[in-house]
Structure formats: structure tokens, C-alpha cells
Amino acid sequence: MIKDKITSEIKDKFRDAISRTIKTGREHAFIICRNDKEELFPRTTCEGRECIVTMERPESCLPSRAQGNFHTHADVTVARRILGDTEEKFPRKMILDFIKEVSDSEGIDITTPSNRDLVNTLVNKCMRMTEGTVCVASDAVPDRVDCYTTSSRITKDDCNRAKLSILTTNVEESGTPKPWIKPLFDIETVDLK
């Protein structure tokens, strides 16, 4: 599993990305690389929509391998937009309660990766581009990161289903993870307190 391999350097990078997301209301991300000694280190930070392209390019870890990626969700910014809160008329606690209620109603946690995140991670693992990890944090819960790493139980059928999902699903569609994919990942929480 990955939790015990998260270094203080990576934790600092998690905190920095979350802090930037809180300040800017934009997602921040970086690739997590793994050297021959199985040590993890961060590489290639990005912000906003361009991260979609950057996170799919694990060659930035060369000569090491890509373990996967980390990204933040700008949940507070999205919630304020939904509530029409351009002047921050709602207290932060009310915004956080709204975010939690929406997440709970969808059967997910605030730091759950989207379906697209999990599908891309699985496909990258199946194609041996990465080791199959996606870590997610939220500006709504700045003291923790949830890491999803592909399970050793993955079959060729799971890989084919993920590849087919990419071909038949709108690229912009993210949404709640589909019931078939979440069990293919081991989930760990990294405490940033």
C-alpha cells in the first residue's frame, strides 16, 4: 500500500496544493513518482484544466516510474457558485455542511475521486504507465488526503471494462464512481494534521 511511503516532502506538497486551492478556487495537482528504492517523490505541479493533460503524462518521472497522481477538488468554490454566493454571504460552516450533505446524498466522501479519475487510474495501471494510484484532497477538508491504489485483484476483464468506459463515456463526465469500479481500489487516508 502507499500510505507508509508518503514522505514529509509529499505531505508538504499536499498541504501547499490544498492551500493554493483554498486561495484560488482552482484545482492543483502533481504526479507522484517512485524510484528504484520504492521511495516516492513529487514532480510536475499544475493548476486547473491543464492538469488533465499533465497527469496523463507519466514520462515526467523518467528515469523513475510514475506511482500515480494527486489533485485537489475546489469544493468550496463550486458550492459557492451553486449557491450564488459571489459575495461570500454564507458562512464557511454552512458551505461545508452543504458540501457534506451533497456528498452524503451521492454515497461518497468529499475526497472521493470522480469516476473519470478512477477509470483513468485503472487504465494507466493496465497499460503499465503508472502503478495505479490517485490521491485526492478538498479545500473543504484541508487536513486529509485519500489515496486510492489499484488492487492486486484486478483482472484483464476489469482493464477491458475501464478501456471501454473511456471510449463510451463523455470525457467531460466525471461524477460519482460507478459501483463496479470502487471495489477495484484499496483506500487509505493520509492525515495532514
**Structural domains in the chain, sorted by start:** 3-191 (3.40.140)
Question: Quick one: CA dihedral 85, 86, 89, 92, positive or negative?
Answer: positive
Note the pLDDT tens digit of each residue in 122-168.
Answer: 999 999 989 999 999 999 999 999 999 999 999 999 999 999 988 87
- Among 159, 172, 73, smallest CA distance to 116 is for 172
Torsional class of 77: left (φ above 0), alpha (ψ -120 to 50), beta (otherwise): alpha
Written as nine digits, the cell of 28 is 492543483
Pairing status of strand 141-150 against strand 40-47 = unpaired
Full pLDDT tens readout for the chain, 193 residues: 788 999 999 999 999 999 999 999 899 999 999 999 999 999 878 888 767 655 566 778 888 899 999 999 988 888 888 888 766 688 888 888 888 888 888 888 889 998 889 999 999 999 998 999 999 999 999 999 999 999 999 999 999 999 998 887 665 556 788 889 999 999 999 999 9
How far is Cα 28 from Cα 77, in angstroms, rounded to an integer?
A: 13
C-alpha angle 111-174-60 in degrees, rounded to nearest 5:
75
Contacts of 168 (CB under 8 A, 6+ apart): none
- How many CB atoms within 10 Å of residue 84? 9
